[in-house]
Amino acid sequence: MSEQVPMISYEADAVLRLRKRSLLGLSLAAMRPHQWVKNLFIFAPLLFGRKLTDLSAVGAALTTFCMFCLLSSALYIFNDWLDADEDRAHPEKRNRPISSGELPVPAALLCSASLAATAFCLAWWLGTSIVVVGAVYFVLIVAYSLSFKRLIVLDCIAIASGFVLRVIGGAVAINVVPTHWLIVCAFLLALFLAFSKRRQEMLTLLNNAVEHRKVLGQYSVAYLDQVNIILIGAAIVSYALYTVAPETVERFGTDVLIYGTVFVIYGMLRYLALINHPEKGGNPSKMLLRDRPLLITVVAWSLYNAIVIYHITLEEFLVFLFR
CB atoms within 10 A of CB 3: 11
pLDDT digit string, tens, across residues 223-281: 988 999 999 999 999 999 999 999 889 988 888 999 999 999 999 998 888 877 655 54
Quote the pTM value.
Answer: 0.82
pLDDT digit string, tens, across residues 44-97: 998 888 888 889 999 999 999 999 999 999 999 998 888 877 777 666 777 788
Domain positions in the chain are 20-178, 179-323
d(CA 64, CA 58): 10
CB atoms within 10 A of CB 273: 11
Question: Regarding the domain with residue range 20-178, which homologous superfamily does it belong to in the CATH classification?
Answer: UbiA prenyltransferase (1.10.357.140)
d(CA 98, CA 105): 7
pLDDT digit string, tens, across residues 36-55: 888 999 999 988 888 888 89
- Is 115 within 8 Å of 44 (Cβ atoms)? no
Grade residue 150 by pLDDT with cuts at 50, 70 and 90.
confident
d(CA 142, CA 211): 21
Query: Which of 15, 132, 118 lies closest to 69 in space, CA to CA?
Result: 118
**Least trusted range by pLDDT, from 4-13, 22-31, 112-121, 307-316:** 4-13
pLDDT digit string, tens, across residues 8-37: 343 444 444 544 568 888 888 888 888 888
The residue ranking higher by pLDDT, 42 or 6, is 42
In this prediction, residues 112-129 reach a mean pLDDT of 94
